[in-house]
Amino acid sequence: MPHKAISPDNDSPQAKKLPPVKSDMPGCCLETAPRARYEKIKGLAKLRILILGGSGFVSGAIVRRALALGHEVSCVTRGRRPLPPKVQAIQADRTVPGELEIALQNQSLDYDLVVDCIGYKAADARQDITLFSKHCRHLAFISSDFVYDPSKRQFPQPEDNPYFLTDDSYGAHKRRCELEFLHAEPHFSRWSIYRPCHIYGPGSRLGCLPKHGRDPRLLERLLKEQPLALVGAGKYLQQPIFVDDLAELILSSVFSPCCNAQFYNCAGPDIIESVRYYEILAELLQRRLNVEEIPVMHYLHEYPEHKSFLCHRIYDLAKIQQDCLAMPQTPIEKGLQIHLESLSEQ
């Protein structure tokens, strides 16, 4: 799919503030002038942002970063967890028909950026399009790299790989959300979709691979030097992304002149074997790592629903850079150190 330049509708909330950069070439931000121009605008602009699901791991990071940049932030949540003081809370459960629509009736619906962090079913994507296609300058939808068929991946995996899951898995449902946006493109194209791989950082549990993925006892096991049972001895390649880098990337979408109706694989700067993730943690804790290998086929037979974990998940981030989006930059060692420190503060 060719890259497109942002061309806000005349009634878009900040259409007159950010005229489009015109380019017929993919990656129109490769030119020095457009990139410098939009970096300057990004530093000056204060946005009105709506986040669907603002109290979770990823959404919470987006909220924190948006507030730090001085933006006005509203969050749609079910009200189960507190939000930062400066955030406007909009309480609604989108799974209840009509509840989100009613909750938004008393809000001014003209947003610079809408970020859907919790959309999972096709109906969620259709709801986004119905509610916000005429009331936001840009809509960012967080999908997953689990949309890809793990048996037909390429190395690195491109965004336009045509092989996707079609079953009842998490990734397949995320792909159905993506298709709703593609179907809406003729009349609404001010959206971009993000496919993060393993996300780590403060607010999440440690661990990136079965049987110790997001393991609530992983820190305890590492401190006691207990053996970790890793599928395939942890030899699958990964490219984990630090949650704050993902937040910065998502927030930069509204400033990109190229990201309308585009998809982005989201990963960190370092490609590592999964076992290296655990080695880094052990080194930071000054402990010895003990790994027991679980045979891949044996594990897949017992847990076929985990197939998307058991493949190499590596990506080329050139498209992110080409399209004027914020490049993930946190080294895995630094990110895991910050993650560990956040756990010690709890």
Alpha-carbon torsion, ordered 25, 30, 36, 39, to 10 deg: 90
Does residue 222 lie in a domain region? no
Reported as a single tens digit per residue, the pLDDT across 92-132 is: 999 999 999 999 988 887 999 999 999 999 999 999 999 99
Domains contained in the chain, number: 1
Q: How much of the chain exceeds pLDDT 90, in percent? A: 81
Reported as a single tens digit per residue, the pLDDT across 237-281 is: 999 999 999 999 999 999 998 999 999 999 999 999 999 999 999
Q: What is the token pair recorded at 147?
A: 């949309």
Does residue 76 lie in a domain region? yes
Reported as a single tens digit per residue, the pLDDT across 123-178 is: 999 999 999 999 999 999 999 999 999 999 999 999 999 999 999 999 999 999 99
Does residue 88 lie in a domain region? yes
Does residue 66 lie in a domain region? yes
Exposure string over 5-27, b if 16+ CB within 10 A, otherwise e? bbebeeebbbeeebeebebeeee
Does residue 185 lie in a domain region? yes
Q: Which runs of E-coded beta strand occur in the chain?
A: 48-52, 72-77, 88-91, 111-116, 136-142, 191-196, 199-200, 228-231, 237-238, 241-242, 262-266, 272-273, 291-294
Residue 249 vs residue 26, higher pLDDT: 249
Does residue 247 lie in a domain region? yes
Peptide bond into 156 cis (omega under 30): yes
Range of the domain at 105: 28-201+241-267+316-328
- Whether residue 20 is predicted with pLDDT greater than 80 in this model: the reply is no
Does residue 230 lie in a domain region? no
Q: Domain holding 185: CATH number?
A: 3.40.50.720
Reported as a single tens digit per residue, the pLDDT across 35-67 is: 555 555 555 578 999 999 978 999 999 999 999
Does residue 303 lie in a domain region? no
